Amino acid sequence: MSEDQPASLAGLRRLIFSPDVPLARQRVRFAAAVTGRVAPGVARATLRLGGVPVERWTPPGAAPDRVIVYVHGGGYCLGSPAMGRELGSSLAVAWSASVVAPLYRLAPEHPCPAAVEDVAAVLGALAGPVVLGLADSAGAGALLAATAERPGALGAQVLVSPWLDLARDVSASADLAARDALVSPAWLAACARHYAPEPRDPRASPLRGARRALVPTLVVGTDDDLLAPDAAALARWPGVELREWPGQWHDFALTPSRSTAAAEARDVIAAFGTRVLGWDGAVSR
């Protein structure tokens, strides 16, 4: 266990990330547990882009030609843009960019490819400014599948703890399952059933599609994540670099104020955007 790892992770796994908890209750509890706030001075608004409801986070002086699209995780079944408010808004301040975060449709009410369609619609509505994709977990899969349908929509992307292969038997990774403090094989399998009737469909599992050259891509992960094999597999694609922080938990990088490793990951992400897109700036401390 990482010295920075919150003791509350075990409670989240038991009370939320468990197939034994009804999905409706998971959603309510998760919404209450995730109270992400945007950075000071960042304005938050709701609107629609491409027919999809989105949150928009805008720091003072944001450049109109710099947009971050943040796609949240949650196993395609729960979650909201609130998950990424801390990381996304801090990067927006650093890069003088705005953030657009889709509230995409969730499973099982809206199975695959609903999430992909919604993300693709938002990307299509943003044609014009340079867009950097930021996504975590299932959101990373939706973003990768959406860009397969809309090549050229992004200038670069950052994928945190990506879930990219819903057909992989995660229960076979017994060692990782024992080390992952947050996500369990049973919960992931339940989410996969809810979202993907055909889990080998590349729209649900981008790793099952044809390997392609990606825009400059940074994958942020940890060796203690049950989904670490997905990150490692994507790192073999052209244009992808992988950075791992040992001993962390799934999606650790979303909360840079809560761990040293997450703060380091945020700084690496900020430097990546500066290097590949020229979005220079400084991260607020």
- 8-277: CATH topology is Rossmann fold (3.40.50)
Q: Per-residue pLDDT averaged across 10-34, rounded?
A: 93
Look at residue 276 in the predicted model and tell me its pLDDT.
Answer: 97
Q: What is the pLDDT of residues 174-220, one digit of tens each?
A: 888 888 889 999 999 999 999 999 999 999 999 999 999 999 999 99
Which percentage of the chain shows pLDDT scores above 90?
86
- Domain locations along the chain: 8-277
Q: Per-residue pLDDT averaged across 9-20, rounded?
A: 90
Sheet holding 52-58, edge to edge: 43-49, 52-58, 98-102, 66-71, 130-136, 156-160, 217-221, 240-244
Given a contact cutoff of 8 angstroms between Cβ atoms, the answer to whether 260 and 4 are in contact is yes
Q: What integer best gives the mean pLDDT of the chain? A: 94
Look at residue 5 in the predicted model and tell me its pLDDT.
Answer: 52
Q: How confident is the model at residue 1 (pLDDT cuts 50, 70, 90)?
A: very low
Look at residue 285 in the predicted model and tell me its pLDDT.
Answer: 53
94 has a pLDDT exceeding 80: yes
Q: What is the pLDDT of residues 118-163, one digit of tens each?
A: 999 999 999 889 999 999 999 999 999 999 999 999 999 999 999 9
Q: What is the pLDDT of residues 226-271, one digit of tens each?
A: 999 999 999 999 999 999 999 999 999 999 999 999 999 999 999 9
Q: What is the pLDDT of residues 32-59, one digit of tens each?
A: 998 889 999 999 999 999 999 999 999 9
Rounded to the nearest 10 degrees, how much is the dihedral formed by the CA atoms of 135, 58, 55, 146?
-40
pTM for this structure? 0.95
